Amino acid sequence: MNRRQYSVPGIALVVAVFVLLAAAPAGTQQEQQRSSPLDAIPWEDGPTVGQLGDIAEIKVPQGFRFTGAAGAKQFLEMTENPTSGSELGILIPPNRDNESFWFMVFEFNDVGYVKDDEKNKLDGDTILTSIQEGTAAANEERKRRGWTPFYVLGWAKPPYYDQSTNNLTWAIRGSGSETGGGEETINYSVRVLGRRGTMNIDLVLSAGQLERVRPYFDLLLKDFSFSKGNKYAEFRAGDKIAAYGLTALVAGGAGAALVKSGLLQKFWKVIALAFIALATQLKRIFNWIRGRRSEEQEA
């Protein structure tokens, strides 16, 4: 099987950043691995094929790591992101240090066949307001858990629908400060329309990484595919039709429209994931790893 080769220029590939250095004494290494915050996640190392339930799959290149539904839930909780129960996978890159880390979240929403008749009617301003309202609701859940709130600042890329691929794409800028201070996080989002629902693929990274990482993200998307019978073009009469269109997909089902329809409570988990953060907890994990490395080197 031919596999794509990926490399990120100018950054060393730190393949073992989530475990301790292989040069550590065996007993010390085993003790440290047992206590690592990320060891409990069942990672699969590329090259491999990551199974996204029975709906789709993603080819995992050399150096990348993938975890399925159970691991995705663990990862999101660990990085202070609410889970929806629909997560099917997480993909992380070879470069896994604090400055270059990013990740991809795969989530399937079994909403039915989403008609694309709104492809020329995507109102970015209205949609952005809806997302901001939805994120405000998500912040109540974050605060309840003692997590850092996050605020949507604006578009990094307005919504765009590609009819040739049935992909709906947009990117949101956000920050832990309502006024935009501090480090910004980008959610670069793609909704791949399928026969029975949408595969939500979110690239989560810092604002300064976007231009460098996006080309690799685009290549990874080409290695995503729905399984046979689940593709958008395989729709058949009698299949379930989604209750909403492209606009609501971008808005994450959030905002005033849900309040008016009475569906807000049903979709609160979708709202909670409307913006996924590179949380401070992730940085604490990296700092923990650095500290253990320093101890090891001194020893």
Q: Is the pLDDT of residue 211 over 60?
A: yes
Q: How far, in Å, CA of 83 to CA of 273, rounded?
A: 7
Classify residue 17: in a domain, yes or no.
Answer: no
Classify residue 14: in a domain, yes or no.
Answer: no
Q: Which of 27, 50, 101, 59 is nearest to 281 (CA)?
A: 101
Classify residue 84: in a domain, yes or no.
Answer: yes
Classify residue 156: in a domain, yes or no.
Answer: yes
Contact 246, 118 (CB under 8 A): yes
Write down the mean pLDDT value for the chain.
Answer: 75
Classify residue 8: in a domain, yes or no.
Answer: no
pLDDT computed for residue 190 by the predictor: 93
Average pLDDT over residues 268-287: 49
pLDDT more than 90, % of the chain? 35
Q: How far, in Å, CA of 47 to CA of 276, rounded?
A: 27
Number of domains within the chain: 1
pLDDT more than 70, % of the chain? 68
Classify residue 286: in a domain, yes or no.
Answer: yes
Please, which pLDDT band fits residue 282 given cuts at 50, 70 and 90? low
Average pLDDT over residues 89-100: 78
Q: Which of 201, 169, 209 is nearest to 185 (CA)?
A: 209
Q: Is the pLDDT of residue 27 over 50?
A: no
Q: Can you tell me whether residue 176 is helix, strand or coil?
A: coil
Q: Which of 217, 228, 271 is nearest to 91 (CA)?
A: 217
Range of the domain at 278: 26-298
Classify residue 1: in a domain, yes or no.
Answer: no
Average pLDDT over residues 236-250: 89
pLDDT computed for residue 265 by the predictor: 41
Q: Is the pLDDT of residue 151 over 70?
A: yes
Residues facing residue 185 across a β-bridge: 174, 206
Please, which pLDDT band fits residue 13 given cuts at 50, 70 and 90? very low
pLDDT computed for residue 236 by the predictor: 96
Q: How far, in Å, CA of 88 to CA of 71, rounded?
A: 9
Q: Is the pLDDT of residue 289 over 80?
A: no
Q: Which range (61-65, 186-190, 266-270) has the least confidence?
A: 266-270
pLDDT computed for residue 36 by the predictor: 57
pLDDT computed for residue 274 by the predictor: 46
Average pLDDT over residues 197-221: 90
Residues 6+ apart with CB under 8 A from 294: none
Classify residue 258: in a domain, yes or no.
Answer: yes
